[in-house]
Chains A and B, each alone.
Chain A
Amino acid sequence: MTTTASPESETHDITPVRDRPRRRVALIGPLIVVLVGGLAVGRFLFAGSSSVEGSTTQSAGVGSELDALRARTVAEPESSTAWLAYGENAMRTAIATGDPAYYAAAQLALDTAVTLAPDSADAVAARAGLALSLHDFAAALPLAERAAKLNPFGVNALAALVDARLENGDYDGAETTLDQLLDVNPGTPAYARVSYFRQLTGDLEGARTAMQQAVGATGPGNGRAVVLGYLGDLNLELGNYDAAEKAYSTALTDQPGNIAAELGRARVLIARGSLTEAAARLDALVARSPQPAPATLQGELALLQGDSVSADAAFRLVRANQQILRSQGVIADIEYSNFDADRGDWASALETASAAHATRQTIFTADALAWALLNVGRTAEAVPLIEESLALGISTPSIRVHAAAIYTANRQPERARDELAVAFQSTPWLTPSIRPIAARLADELGLTLPQNWSSL
């Protein structure tokens, strides 16, 4: 076994566990549904047989495991746990591979699992998790509520409810459930959500602390790679490039090929001014995983480098992806709206953002709608919406720059200056498209663009 260095200082208690014996998932006859409790076989099957169980150097490939789980559903069509195991694995596969066809398989499997065992908190929580993954937040909320009611000590049920409340804009409710989750089990699921909640309140340092705790409370493997990716992102936003790089590289040791970490490393390069190297990495990443996030960054970087042809190709790829996701039932309205807005398609952005905000009043739907309204000239209407978006205190630079633009248009220059000041404490290239807007506003308001904003 190769020894892989994962240089850590803050995360020094991370110690790789290797060579976990892989358990073979057997196919069993319908007779043996009862097995599910016995000798842990059942809970083992149900719990996942996921790729994370095996070697920590394994990538997302889960094909044979998924096949075995699917075959088990054929052998045991009446077993809720068989469908649950298959559905959860299919969902993980969808997320990990970026192939949305797996969402359809996951949905069929989890719907069946819930139908067969309507009172299984685990099945209902998993179905809620799928709805969240598909961004069907309206459907996710009642499912998560039911799961948490069925098992008030269920970590996954409470975690799903936190997520569902956040996505539906019920921030107070989410905080209450998060406190409950912390009381039941202060582990990685709770810490990671505390981190996100603090991020929404603009407390990036606090968010980093909590994400560090999340990393410390999980073993090496795919699960830790996820939280390490977030830790990297937070460090990046805080300008701690070395710490970000360290988190991403450990994530890639845990899960080679982890897209968030690969993307993060490209952004560290951009932050450090190594645009050519970043572009090369993004090209390779998009060739392997032609997904919206890497393709968007690829396009934005190409624009920064003055290569509008490459940028256009990248953005067309994003659009094509969105069409596929949409056809698979993934609701990504905010992403569509932001994307349209960034490309100047305001009519489309407004339509999407209006619909999104009508279904759920969140920080992000309010921001998207405010920004679209401003850009179609409905200047005054944008003010209450951007105030709604900022109510919790989020410091994301794009939202703060939007706010500055809205206040400027409404002749409130002092408020605009305050918003820009907040934005300028952040790293500008996280969303490169706002940089020129910020530069124009700074000029209008008589502010100097910080060095790190003008260096790109």
Chain B
Amino acid sequence: MSNKRKLKRVIPVLGLSGALVAGLIAQADASSHREAPLITEDPVADITDLYAFVSPDDTSMVTLVMNVNPFEDPAGGPNFHKFGDDVRYRFNIDVNGDAKEDFEYDFRFATKVKNPATFLYNTGQVTTLDDADLNVVQTYSVYEDDELRDEESTIGKNLVVAPANVGKRSTPDYEANLGAAAVTELSNGMKVFAGPRDDPFFADLGKIFDLGSLGPFQPAHLIPTEAEPGEDYVAMKNVHTIALQIPVSHLTEVAGDPVIGVWATTYRRATQTRRSNGTQKVGGDWVQISRLGMPLVNEVVVPLGAKDLFNSSRPRSDGQFAASVLDPELANLIPVLYPGVTVPTSVDAGLGLGGREDIATIFLTGIPGVNKSALFSRPSEMLRVNTSTASGFPNGRLLTDDVIDVSLRALAGGIGFPGTEAFNIAPNNALGDDVSTNDKTATDTFPYVAEPWAGTD
């Protein structure tokens, strides 16, 4: 089961009962009771973060970034991290506010081991993407489904995934030789990249998981301790990045509104339960197993116990989560953890629903005047980008946006949303985990995500 966002990365196996029972009771052949595993982590299909923004160096282009495979240790050898060959990765884009995917960009991967006789990832120094010394090569293809124009096409074929940043000896001048070199400009004006990068996310996960503790605010906590500086728990970790840059006009010219809604999904194949006619079909329907639009979606949008449902669901059905958005558990928690802090319980944003309509606009409709489509017709959870202005969370999401701080303050009524003026005071408008920047600086050209940490760093 995939975990929806960064904070969820730490959720371990749920109820794994399949441990060592073969040793406890059963014989190992198909006798009697078989303990089979329950939910396990599926890191290669686990979307940790989604970013979508108007490109800083070219405002006619929008950039989408999906990161998977959380907490990669750069020193991963000899089995360095990869994308899943049996996973389909997809960017979905709604351009007309109806919560349906108008554009789909699918990424499929394939791995080739040049010399299966060696377990080595590389057999010598690797200085080019087609270096003979690079023993394990992953390639990918990109497919576009343009529902508005009713066109399906393969827009990239057998492109090379950037290899692992093994270290100075194996992969000298990594970024120039291999990282930037893996950016492909497609004939339709788009750019793509796939490969390991520095994880651009930053958060003090350690303290947050210790009862929602926030370094600077620890004295005000229900269980007070001295104030402490924040600590970035995802420092020096890599992720696997899929980045796609698309001309804005390609997306918006048919529908005519500058707001696009983006979400990422991953899929694995179902399979036949049993063979038919003696043939063993491996493939089956692609089934969505993970979904991510806005960061922190599991804290604010998805009710407890509905995680599996959310993973399987599509934005068009998100009305079912409206109640928990209008009464966010996390907002209710802030005054409990920080006695003395009060948060709004009801904010009228003209939706006619009652409760926290400000939060509902951020997650489900777009904020009027910021990133709500003039064509909006159906509430749905996605990352909305107004392509006619500069991006910044919650209008899209930049690699550098501090989504933890912004989200906490939004829940506390501290971001100046109309109707929350009384709450736009300290500490509500200053809440945060005291980790405000990443440990590597985003680059100023596509794919913007910083080069990966090396195994020798």
Interface residues of A in 95-126 (CB under 8 A from B): 95-96, 98, 120-122, 125-126
Known: A17-B71, A50-B13, A184-B308. A223 touches B23 (CB 8 A): no
Q: Tell whether, in the assembled complex, residue B20 and residue A60 are in contact, meaning their CB atoms are under 8 Å apart.
A: yes
A258 contacts across to B, CB distance below 8 A: 20
Q: Tell whether, in the assembled complex, residue B275 and residue A192 are in contact, meaning their CB atoms are under 8 Å apart.
A: no
Bound-state CA distance A76–B282 (Å) is 47
Bound-state CA distance A229–B36 (Å) is 11
A263 at the interface (CB under 8 A from B): yes
CB-CB nearest in chain A for B20: A259
CB-CB nearest in chain A for B209: A23
Q: Tell whether, in the assembled complex, residue A132 and residue B271 are in contact, meaning their CB atoms are under 8 Å apart.
A: no
Q: Tell whether, in the assembled complex, residue B312 and residue A223 are in contact, meaning their CB atoms are under 8 Å apart.
A: no
Distance of B9 from chain A, by nearest CB (Å): 8
A237 at the interface (CB under 8 A from B): yes
Known: A92-B19, A185-B287. A203 touches B336 (CB 8 A): no
Q: Tell whether, in the assembled complex, residue B119 and residue A37 are in contact, meaning their CB atoms are under 8 Å apart.
A: no
A396 contacts across to B, CB distance below 8 A: 29-31
A271 at the interface (CB under 8 A from B): no
Q: Tell whether, in the assembled complex, residue A7 and residue B119 are in contact, meaning their CB atoms are under 8 Å apart.
A: yes
Counting residue pairs across A and B whose Cβ atoms lie within 8 Å, the total is: 379
Q: Which of A38, A120, A209 is the one whose CB lies under 8 Å from B330?
A: A38
A410 at the interface (CB under 8 A from B): no
Q: Tell whether, in the assembled complex, residue A36 and residue B304 are in contact, meaning their CB atoms are under 8 Å apart.
A: yes
A48 contacts across to B, CB distance below 8 A: 11-16
Q: Tell whether, in the assembled complex, residue A263 and residue B23 are in contact, meaning their CB atoms are under 8 Å apart.
A: yes
Q: Which of B15, B22, B212 is the one whose CB lies under 8 Å from A35?
A: B212
B43 at the interface (CB under 8 A from A): yes
Question: Which segment of B82-90, B147-155, B446-454 sits at the interface?
Answer: B82-90
Q: Tell whether, in the assembled complex, residue A12 and residue B113 are in contact, meaning their CB atoms are under 8 Å apart.
A: yes
Bound-state CA distance A126–B211 (Å) is 25
Bound-state CA distance A52–B14 (Å) is 10
CB-CB nearest in chain B for A339: B27
Q: Which of B23, B75, B79, B113 is the one whose CB lies under 8 Å from A289?
A: B23
Q: Tell whether, in the assembled complex, residue B37 and residue A189 are in contact, meaning their CB atoms are under 8 Å apart.
A: yes
Interface string of B68-88 (1 = CB under 8 A from A): 011111011111111011100
B119 contacts across to A, CB distance below 8 A: 5, 7
A18 at the interface (CB under 8 A from B): yes
Question: Which segment of A25-33, A305-313, A369-377, A443-451 sits at the interface?
Answer: A25-33
A191 at the interface (CB under 8 A from B): yes
Q: Tell whether, in the assembled complex, residue B312 and residue A156 are in contact, meaning their CB atoms are under 8 Å apart.
A: no
Q: Which of A3, A35, A186 is the one whose CB lies under 8 Å from B271?
A: A186
Distance of B59 from chain A, by nearest CB (Å): 35
B352 at the interface (CB under 8 A from A): no
Interface residues of B in 279-312 (CB under 8 A from A): 280, 282, 284-285, 287, 289, 298-299, 303-305, 307-309, 311-312
Q: Which 8 A-B pairs have the closest CB atoms?
A: A259-B23, A53-B12, A38-B333, A37-B329, A223-B40, A260-B22, A218-B40, A182-B270
Measured CB to CB, the residues of B under 8 A from A are 1, 7-45, 69-73, 75-82, 84-86, 111, 113, 116, 119, 136, 205-206, 208-212, 222, 233, 268-275, 280, 282, 284-285, 287, 289, 298-299, 303-305, 307-309, 311-312, 329-330, 332-333, 336-337
